[in-house]
Chains A and B, each alone.
Chain A
Amino acid sequence: MSATPHPAALALKLEGVEQRVGAAIHLYPLNLELVPGQLNVLLGATLAGKTSLLRLMAGLDAPTAGRIHEGSRGAWRDVTGLPVRQRDLAMVYQQFINYPSLSVRENIASPLRLRGVAKGELEQRVATIAEQLRLTPFLDRRPAELSGGQQQRTALARALAKDAGLLLLDEPLVNLDYKLREELRAELLQLLRVRNTTVVYATTEPQEALQLGGNVVVMEAGRVVQSGPTLQVFSRPASLAAARAFSDPPLNVLPARFDGTRGIATLANGAANGLASGLSGGLEVALSPAAVAAVRATGVNEFLLALRPHQLHSEPGGCRSLTLQGTVELAEISGSDTYLHVHTAGGDVVAQWRGIHPLSLGSRAHLFLDPREFFGFTCEGAALFAPTAAAGET
């Protein structure tokens, strides 16, 4: 690490911040607080409002309403609409943005030169950061002479060299192919962990959010639907919207009917249509006492059962007492997993199986379910219950 002590990581507080462009609402009023030195992930689909929010945080745009405060060592200042040049922050974009006429070395050095860092220290810091991002052999090249991965490494190196108190990353790896993305994500994570910087990292990919860890802010259509420690939001989503944002391949949602006297749920479509096998009366899901209480408290008998794709197992066993049968529509192979699109009488579902399973179109698939792994939501999308921690192991 550099000899110079890091400046303090910044706190950021957004109060009633909203963004409208003409009649279009890009961000509904939101409150958000970022703790200094923490890694924050903005997770949401394209157009969820992630980039709008990052631009407000950076001061690239001013909000339509609301205030943004920045905290440093306990002192707060209002930075609403303050130009980015007067802020202590660095930003990295999806596109590989570098100074085309400058060498990689000068690109990395530019924020240090602006700040008037002495020559010896400047050279040392450029060398260190170039080494960390594996750019040392390319220091004398220009960005156009580099591969996409190296160009984005250069942009990241420049942002890290600045050593700002706030680092904003807007889907920085999205334009790289998957092997480069995998490699750079792991390296970036190591670099960010040892830094005393507040990081905000926007991504559309739940897997990336989980890998980054830290805190997550789940966004959907201009709203913050949930925020909190990443793993906690993943395992206990507060709403169907948060659960969906955190599931790729998509969450499986099955309408269910509650039978309060027996403490079970019946899959609404499936039961009559022979969705279930091995159970003559239809697919009945035994609910835990807590789940029964939660559904009963709503006073409504219709609700939604949801399962993440990895909970539609390829093998029976343990508590997987339910079987779904269907026809394979496609076996997609992603990384080390197979995503199985299955058409069942009760609706289309996606299963995520470990390893490569060469199932041909139209073949029969059996999916084994553990009733303890279901999420429950009201028809309006509020969370009713989540799987217990013990369930869900594969």
Chain B
Amino acid sequence: MARIELVNVGHAYGGAANAGTETRWALRPMTMTWRDGGAYALLGPSGCGKTTLLNLISGLLTPTQGRILFDGKDITQLGPRERNIAQVFQFPVLYDTMTVFDNLAFPLRNRGWKEAAVRTRVGEVAELLDLAADLKRRARGLPPDAQQKISLGRGLVRTDVAAVLLDEPLTVIDPHLKWLLRRKLKQIHQQLKVSLIYVTHDQVEALTFAEEVVVMNHGEVLQVGTPQALYEAPEHTFVGHFIGSPGMNFLPCKLGANEARMGDVTLPMDAEWLARAAAAGTEHQLGFRPDAAEVLAAPVASTAGAAWQPARVQSFQPMGTHSLLQLGFGGGSVWVRAAAAFQPAGDYVWLRPLPGKLALFADQRLVPRSATEASIAPHASTPEAGAAP
């Protein structure tokens, strides 16, 4: 296994001549280090550049610029075979007529392993994948999930690979079995400490599998972070939108010295934070998650204060476990998640985004709050907030 470093790596199909303009990059130049034994996911919609990035690592593509290092050694110009990478694809890749044992043994025999060592290693991997009972069966007759486990086994059986790359490996798996294979992958990672890089457009796959997720869009890496960080502190509006269901709410806003204005709504905010946001870009957006707001069906005596704002109900959906409201608020439309028993009493409800969970974006990039949580605390403890039932 190896630490993988990407140093200023960029790729444009058609070569350097195409790389000049920003829009021509299939992968914009980026620098990143993946630690040895980590579990990473590359996540983004189709055309985001994740497959290009995977092919650069496997050696199917040579980058237009930059260097790729495995454990400090420059392998940029090496082909796939010399890089010692194992790959698992969307569809099972195996020899139909061979037994499960011979399929798993193939990569080892191919590299001249002694038969006794082959037997030991195949036994270990089969045990790990719950394939031990099927070793003598032919691959052909097995169901798709077992076949995909064999493909996975073929990727994991070698002990000398730098990393195992998985390209949407659960595509063919029945939805009811997916969680079992997800668990299997996690167990394998925990036990073997192999470096795994998993490409998917599916949020569930990526967030469930990975320790760290690389979110990409339009050829650009927008954020690398734990699932929790992507959810709680998205660094780009696309990440806020793409992670979570419904995604983060965004409202275009105008910044004042001590407040942000969105349509007819004004929210008091930290002056220093606002100043940094103003300096960071020209277009500003306020963001909050649908579960980062409180909602009341009717005004209470103290809702006249700044904290609670009337919001027009555009749609109301009881979801059994909770309710979803789509509200006209701050010159835009926002989703809010309320309790299952919540019922709007009329055309308006009263909304209060939680001050501690607001995010501010300048030209779509997060403006960090810095360590100034305390400075917004007075708003969080207004009598209005205290009046919430």
Contacts and interface: CB of A to CB of B under 8 A. Distances in A.
Contact of B183 (A246, A334, A341, A354): A341
B339 A393 contact: yes
Contact of A358 (B228, B242, B244): B228
A345 interface: no
Contacts of A308: 321
A73 to B, nearest CB: 30
A389 B341 contact: yes
A56 to B, nearest CB: 26
A355 B246 CA distance: 12
Given A178-B203, A211-B324, A333-B208, A190 B315 contact: yes
B293 to A, nearest CB: 13
A234 B318 CA distance: 11
Nearest to A331: B208
- Chain B contact residues (Cβ within 8 angstroms of A): what range? 35 or more
B382 interface: no
B389 interface: no
Interface string A279-313: 00000000000000000000000000000101000
A207 B319 contact: yes
B246 A356 contact: no
Interface in A329-362: 329-336, 339, 341, 352, 354-356, 358, 360-362
B227 interface: yes
Contacts of A246: 320
A86 interface: no
A72 interface: no
Contacts of B226: 358
Contacts of A334: 203-204, 208, 245
Given A235-B320, A361-B190, A394-B322, A356 B179 contact: no
B224 to A, nearest CB: 16
Contacts of B315: 186, 189-190
A310 B320 CA distance: 10
Contacts of B247: 179, 182
B339 A178 contact: no
Given A213-B317, A330-B182, A356-B227, A335 B245 contact: yes
B40 to A, nearest CB: 15
B208 A332 contact: yes
Contacts of B254: none
A35 interface: no
Contacts of B187: 361
A335 B208 contact: no
B319 A394 contact: no
A231 B318 contact: yes
Contact of A336 (B179, B244, B318): B244
Nearest to B326: A186
Contacts of A356: 207, 227-228, 231-232
A334 B183 CA distance: 15
A330 B231 contact: no
A392 interface: yes
A189 B314 CA distance: 12
A179 B248 CA distance: 12
Contacts of B384: none
Contacts of A207: 319
A49 B310 CA distance: 45
From B231, B244, B320, residue with most partner A Cβ within 10 Å:
B320
A177 interface: yes
Contact of A210 (B190, B202, B232, B318): B318
Contacts of B291: 336, 354-355
Interface in B300-335: 315, 317-322, 324, 326
B290 A336 contact: yes
Interface string B171-201: 0000000010011001100100000000001
Contact of B339 (A329, A355, A394): A394
- Chain A contact residues (Cβ within 8 angstroms of B): what range? 35 or more
B183 A177 contact: no
B149 interface: no
Contacts of B290: 336
B203 A211 contact: no
B78 interface: no
A177 B201 contact: yes
Nearest to B183: A330
Contacts of A179: 45, 241-242, 247
A210 B320 contact: yes
Contacts of B319: 207, 210-211
A392 B341 CA distance: 9
Given A189-B315, A332-B208, A336-B244, A361 B340 contact: no
Contacts of B337: 336
Nearest to B247: A179
B208 A330 contact: yes
B11 interface: no
A141 to B, nearest CB: 17
Given A213-B317, A336-B290, A355-B291, A330 B203 contact: no
B99 to A, nearest CB: 30
B349 to A, nearest CB: 17
Contacts of A206: 320
A366 B227 CA distance: 22
Given A179-B45, A332-B208, A333-B227, A211 B317 contact: yes
B196 to A, nearest CB: 14
B289 interface: yes
A179 B239 CA distance: 12
Interface in A240-293: 246
Interface string B246-284: 110000000000000000000000000000000000000
Contacts of A182: 245-247
From A234, A330, A334, residue with most partner B Cβ within 10 Å:
A330
Contacts of A394: 321-322, 339-340
B227 A358 contact: yes
A177 B242 contact: no
Nearest to A233: B320
Nearest to B318: A231
A309 to B, nearest CB: 9
14 contacts: A186-B315, A235-B320, A330-B186, A333-B208, A335-B204, A335-B244, A335-B245, A336-B291, A356-B231, A356-B232, A361-B183, A361-B186, A389-B341, A393-B341
Given A331-B208, A341-B179, A360-B190, 5 more contacts: A178-B203, A189-B315, A332-B182, A336-B337, A339-B179
Q: Which 7 A-B pairs have the closest CB atoms?
A: A335-B245, A333-B207, A330-B183, A310-B321, A356-B231, A332-B208, A356-B228
